[in-house]
Amino acid sequence: MKKTIVLVTGGSRGIGRSICMALAERGCTVLFTYLSNEAKAQELLEEINLLGKGGGYAYRCDMSRLPDVIDLSKRIRKDVSYLDAIVNNAGIVGDGKPFLFATDEHWWDVIHTNVGSVTNTCRVMLPMMISRKSGRIINITSLSGQKGNAGQSAYSASKAAVVTFSRSLAKEVGRFGITVNCISPGLIDTDMTRDISNEYVANRLVWSPLKRKGGADEVANLVTYMLCDAPSYIIGQELTIDGGLGVS
d(CA 123, CA 139): 14
What tens digit of pLDDT does each residue of 49-99 get? 999 999 999 999 999 999 999 999 999 999 999 999 999 999 999 888 999
Report pLDDT for 98.
93
Report pLDDT for 200.
73
Phi, psi of 74, rounded to the nearest 5 degrees = -65, -40
Extract the residue ranges of the chain whose pLDDT is less than 70: 1-2, 192-197, 248
The answer to whether 57 is a known catalytic residue is no
Phi, psi of 53, rounded to the nearest 5 degrees = -115, -105
Report pLDDT for 1.
44
DSSP for 121-158, written as a single string: HHHHHHHHHHTTT-EEEEEE--THHHH--TT-HHHHHH
pTM, to two decimals: 0.94
What tens digit of pLDDT does each residue of 133-151 get? 999 999 999 999 999 988 8
d(CA 188, CA 143): 11
Please give the domain boundaries of the chain with CATH numbers for all domains.
Answer: 5-238 (3.40.50.720)
Collect all residues with Cβ–Cβ distance below 8 Å to 145 and sequence separation of at least 6: 156, 157, 158, 159, 160, 162, 163, 184
* Active-site annotation holder among 34, 82, 155, 200: 155
